[in-house]
Amino acid sequence: MDLDWKNLSFGYIKTDYNIRSYFRDGAWTTPELTTDETVTMHMAATCLHYGQEAFEGQKAFRGADGVIRIFRPEENAKRMRSSAEYLKMALPPVDMFVDMMKRVVKANERFVPPYGTGASLYIRPVLFGTGPQVGVKPAGEYLLIVFVTPVGPYYKEGFNPIKVLIDRDHDRAAPLGTGHVKAGGNYAASLTSAEIGHEKGYPSVLYLDAKEKKHIDECGAANFFGIRDGVYITPKSHSVLPSITNMSLMTLAAEMGLKVEQRPVDYDELGTFDEAGSCGTAAVLSPIGSIYDPQTGHTFVYNDGKPGKWSEKLYHRLRAIQYAEEPDTYGWMAAL
């Protein structure tokens, strides 16, 4: 495969296959690979009208030993099931879901970036209601597709710290709403603030809790964390997506001797962190250089706008496990 691997952005590149399973008559069909990039469905499909849709994101890596492995695919299967449960969709079995991820990566092996390029193969499972309804009710039929695309860094900054804007004028998720699941609707709700951020030169916005604007929620399409005096602190909230990357970083932080706190994080703490960052499958670990709050006119600056030492250590340790440069101590990497 001849791609400019070192300069890939985070976008869609056509690959050879995607894999699909249909939920019909109460059962999932045997997953099948296809070259078709399109979907034909009923115009009254519930995903189109009532947002009955959820997705996942994960990556496959070509390791230093040449072996292709997926990072913690079972966690994606479990989270997809929790999204499906909340949105009243059919729940894909964990084994089938993981098998689909592995099969589609295998079928598109030539698109898995070479080791050493820093790129990876992004895996995007998507589940949606295809059955027709006009009343607001769950569909009777669903389609689960897993496609892949080779990607580079999510932020053009790469591992260079990003500038973040606080947006108090828009919420991505309601306090008791869908923030804890990966519903497409959350992302639709984030587009306005993301665009405002981009127009002002901020690659990401920081959301405060929707009810009181007192606590930190999410950092764009990634979790937020702060590090202070040897403590890794990250928000716990019903409107924050349980990030697989963050869960892994918490394990690695503890391994490095940091104390880990997952709890509501007060806005006022923003001024106390030595380091701050955002983390997620796409974002990996992106240090935050500064956070601007237009309401107060204050800019919080972290480590003089350079990556902090703990952020660097965590980033390198996670990447080393993903690219099989260091032992997979926790059994996170799944070979195909």
Q: Give the shortest CB-268-to-ligand COI separation in angstroms.
A: 28
Q: Which does 241 bind (CB under 5 to 8 A by kind): ligand COI, ligand PLP, none?
A: ligand PLP
Q: Which amino acid is at 93?
A: P
Residue 57 as a binder of ligand PLP (CB under 6 A): the answer is yes
- Catalytic hit among 59, 156, 182, 213: 182
**Residue whose C-alpha is closest to residue 314's, from 228, 222, 249, 229:** 249
Tell me which residues in 184-223 interact with ligand COI (CB under 6 A).
221
Give, as one character, the DSSP assignment of residue 132: B
φ, ψ of residue 80 in degrees (nearest 5): -60, -40
Q: Give the shortest CB-125-to-ligand PLP separation in angstroms.
A: 12
Q: Which amino acid is at 26?
A: G
Q: Give the shortest CB-63-to-ligand COI separation in angstroms.
A: 20
**Alpha-carbon dihedral angle through residues 92, 93, 95, 96, given to the nearest 10 degrees:** -40
Residue 241 as a binder of ligand PLP (CB under 6 A): the answer is yes
Residue 92 as a binder of ligand PLP (CB under 6 A): the answer is no
CB 155 within 8 A of CB 203: yes
| Annotated catalytic residue 182 | yes
CA atoms within 13 A on the CB side of 142: 24
Residue 201 φ/ψ region, left for φ over 0, alpha for ψ in the -120 to 50 degree band, beta for the rest: left
Give the residue, chosen from 280, 287, 289, 308, that forms a contact with ligand PLP under the rule CB under 6 A: 280
Handedness of CA 276, 255, 244, 123 (dihedral sign): positive
3-state secondary structure 254-283: HHCCCEEEECCCEHHHHHCCCEEEEEECCC
Please identify, using beta-carbon distances, which residue of 161 and 280 lies nearer to ligand COI.
280
Please identify, using beta-carbon distances, which residue of 52 and 278 lies nearer to ligand PLP.
278
Binding segment toward ligand PLP, per CB under 6 A, in 109-117, 230-238, 244-252, 313-321: 244-252
| Cα gap 78→68, rounded to integer Å | 22
Residue 243 as a binder of ligand PLP (CB under 6 A): the answer is yes
Residue 223 as a binder of ligand PLP (CB under 6 A): the answer is yes
Residue 150 as a binder of ligand COI (CB under 6 A): the answer is no
Tell me which residues in 22-61 interact with ligand COI (CB under 6 A).
57
Q: Give the shortest CB-323-to-ligand COI separation in angstroms.
A: 18
Residue 193 as a binder of ligand PLP (CB under 6 A): the answer is no
Q: Is 140 helix (H, G, I), strand (E, B) or coil?
A: coil
Residue 282 as a binder of ligand COI (CB under 6 A): the answer is yes
**Residue whose C-alpha is closest to residue 132's, from 65, 63, 42:** 42
Catalytic (active-site) positions: 182
Chain positions contacting ligand COI, by CB under 6 A: 57, 221, 280-282
Chain positions contacting ligand PLP, by CB under 6 A: 57, 218, 221-223, 241, 243-246, 280-281
